[in-house]
Chain A
Amino acid sequence: MKRFENVHMEGLRNTMTEKELDSKLESAGQLQVRQLLQTMPEESLSLTWRSSLNEKLMASVETRRRKRRVAWFLSPALGIGLASVFAVVFLVKPNVTPEPAQSSSSSLEAKLVASHQDSVRYGEVTGAGLNQDEVIDGKSVTSVSTDYGEVDLGSL
């Protein structure tokens, strides 16, 4: 169809001037087609169609109102929110003093030092040859175990 139309359109352009085309359009046969078309009966739409359109129009009105309301509500709220976020981030600087970081290696060193000090103390109190379990409250076990009288020895 399109091919035929294009051929005819080209043909019309080549063979007819606009005046000739106008006079052709005013010919009796062409005008009769126009008359026929104008007398064609009109199809009417149902009441269901109309009420459905009304519902859609009302819905669109509601949607528009809601959007406007939300936009009205959100625009200042959004502005204030953004402004306060910027204020917090850029203007209010937190006054925090940096604490010296304790690395895991320093705590190990501290433990080693403490362990060394303990062993020195034990060594001073008990002398060489005693281990940690044999010492109670800085006294040697032997001094504690002499806590008996002569009577006890006699009963043996």
Chain B
Amino acid sequence: MELCIGASRLSAGNQTDHASELAIVERCRKQDYEAFGKLVDTYQNRLFGFVRRMVPNAEEAADVTQEVFIRAFQSFGRFDGRCSVRTWLFRIAYNLCVDRARKVDRSPSEVSLQGTTEVDETFDVPDGRWQPDQIAIDTELASVIDEAISTMSEKLRSVLLLHDKEDLPYEEIAQMVGVPVGTVKSRLFLARAHLQQHLRNYLYGEVSQS
């Protein structure tokens, strides 16, 4: 059976070759603690970023992320390699977040989507990587995006994060969430439209204030 590891993502930044990734997975299957540690190093921040936006607070997100790795370690023997390790880890994380949300019965505040699907516009978002004042603006923009994501329902949020942030293909998301690919696309479209509306309110609201 051929394993699909997701070579471009396994070693955030460093291009680890496919063979060594396969070796890591094989060692993890044999409950190799060190090899699993490498996987944790690779994915901990990405998983935390996803979980952080799916559960209400950072402390809980850290706990859930730990639980993801513990479950993965305990059930690595059952990992069949039909999907990538990345997809598998995100699936565990998604399931844990959904379970937790069901337990807490967290219902997000109601936000109207009226008018979000009609307008599709681009924004002039400057690249402020080397300017301190722009870094502050970017931080603010990031918090606006986070806020917009938090007001979405779990269905839209998960699809948006898994596709746009984590770069997972439609088919894998559909399998993970348990809906047809068309529904994934519809959800993604709505989620992006919702985010666009929030950004529009933020950017044009600021312009009109100044």
Contact = CB atoms under 8 A, between A and B. Distances in A.
B142 interface: yes
B98 interface: no
Interface stretch (A44-52, A77-85, A140-148): A44-52
Nearest to A58: B33
Main secondary structure of the interface of A (DSSP, over half): helix
Interface string B45-81: 1101100100000100010011001100110000000
Given A5-B190, A8-B190, A53-B40, A45 B62 contact: yes
B205 interface: no
Among B37, B66, B109, B189, find the residue whose CB has the most chain A CB atoms closer than 10 A. B189
A93 interface: no
Nearest to A57: B73
Interface residues of B, number: 63
B44 A32 contact: no
Contacts of B167: 38
Contacts, number: 133
B191 to A, nearest CB: 8
A5 B113 contact: yes
Nearest to B191: A33
A52 B62 CA distance: 11
A155 B136 CA distance: 147
Contact of A32 (B114, B123, B156, B188): B123
Contacts of B40: 50, 53
Contact of B187 (A9, A49, A54, A60): A9
Interface of B: 31, 33, 36-37, 40, 44-46, 48-49, 52, 58, 62, 65-66, 69-70, 73-74, 108-114, 116-117, 120-123, 125, 138-139, 141-142, 145-146, 151-153, 155-156, 160-161, 163-165, 167, 182-183, 185-190, 192-193, 195-196, 199
Given A1-B152, A25-B188, A25-B192, 4 more contacts: A1-B109, A13-B186, A36-B145, A43-B52
10 contacts: A1-B151, A12-B186, A12-B190, A24-B189, A29-B196, A32-B125, A38-B167, A45-B45, A57-B33, A57-B36
